[in-house]
């Protein structure tokens, strides 16, 4: 399965499950919205709130990114964000340990935020929200995880009429300007890619 097909299938799966399953965000995915002041979209789309693994919360509270830390703290106080730790000797810690400290032979360590989101999504049958396909795609497949990206979230916002395509393009451009990694140069190009994948599935 190529990258385009993975992105399409992830989007379809997300739309089936995001209303009922717990969402575990990694740092890059949530910060893409925080950097461009679009976190309000989260509260519209994910009405049941989201979960930040403790390593992700700690990264966002780093003094080097005080702006993001203030936003995250407000969302936590408001009850929209839940912080979840990974306890030693827990099922999720075993996965986290394997991914960050002692990976299998031939495997490289991945970031603590991504690893924590993977471990929690696997243990609690949730959805991992991450843009880091390079590092996590192998584990999404291995653990049969449901997965969404920043692009999927913007598509959902468009479908629910929280944004129009022009605003989507503006948000997309602002994210790229903040050095967020997105699959295409514009939001419109991504929508065209999704339409192409949808058409392929009809034949």
pTM recorded for the entire structure? 0.85
Long-range contacts of 138-143 (CB under 8 A, 24+ apart): 139/99, 139/110, 143/95, 143/118
CA distances from 23 to 9, 52, 91, 92 (A): 17, 8, 18, 15
Rounded mean pLDDT of 74-80?
94
User: Is residue 176 situated within a structural domain?
Assistant: yes
User: Is residue 17 situated within a structural domain?
Assistant: yes
pLDDT at 20: 52
pLDDT at 1: 47
What value does the mean pLDDT of the chain take? 87
Rounded mean pLDDT of 23-50?
93
Check residues 168 and 195 and name the one with the higher pLDDT: 168
Helices (H), 46-164: 54-60, 66-77, 91-100, 112-123, 133-142, 150-159
User: Is residue 203 situated within a structural domain?
Assistant: no
Which two three-digit tokens encode residue 141?
């497949």
| Parent domain of 9 | 3-197
Q: Which of 1-5, 18-22, 31-35, 191-195 has the highest mean pLDDT?
A: 31-35
pLDDT tens readout for residues 158-185 = 999 999 999 999 999 999 999 998 999 9
Q: What is the CATH number of the domain that holds 40?
A: 3.40.50.1010
Residue 105 — very low, low, confident or very high, per pLDDT cuts 50/70/90?
Answer: confident
Q: Who's near 9: CB < 8 A, 6+ residues apart? A: 1
Give the number of domains in the chain. 1
User: Is residue 202 situated within a structural domain?
Assistant: no
pLDDT tens readout for residues 111-125 = 999 999 999 999 999
pLDDT tens readout for residues 41-58 = 988 999 889 999 999 999
Residue 198 — very low, low, confident or very high, per pLDDT cuts 50/70/90?
Answer: low
């Amino acid at each position: 399965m190529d990258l385009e097909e993975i992105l399409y299938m992830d989007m379809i799966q997300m739309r089936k499950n995001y209303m009922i399953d717990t969402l575990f965000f990694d740092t890059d995915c949530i910060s893409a919205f925080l950097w461009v002041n679009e976190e309000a979209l989260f509260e519209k789309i994910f009405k049941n709130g989201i979960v930040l693994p403790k390593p992700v919360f700690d990264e966002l509270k780093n003094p080097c990114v005080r702006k993001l830390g203030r936003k995250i703290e407000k969302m936590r106080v408001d009850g929209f964000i839940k912080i979840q730790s990974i306890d030693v000797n827990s099922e999720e810690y075993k996965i986290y340990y394997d991914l960050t400290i002692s990976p299998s032979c031939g495997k490289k360590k991945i970031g603590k935020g991504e690893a924590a989101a993977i471990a929690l999504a696997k243990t609690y049958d949730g959805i991992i929200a991450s843009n880091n396909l390079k590092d996590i795609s192998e584990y999404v497949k291995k653990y049969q995880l449901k997965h969404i990206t920043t692009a999927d979230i913007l598509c959902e916002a468009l479908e629910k009429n929280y944004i129009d395509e022009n605003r989507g393009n503006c948000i997309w451009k602002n994210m790229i300007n903040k050095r967020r990694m997105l699959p295409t140069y514009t939001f419109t190009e991504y929508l065209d890619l999704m339409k192409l994948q949808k058409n392929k599935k009809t034949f």
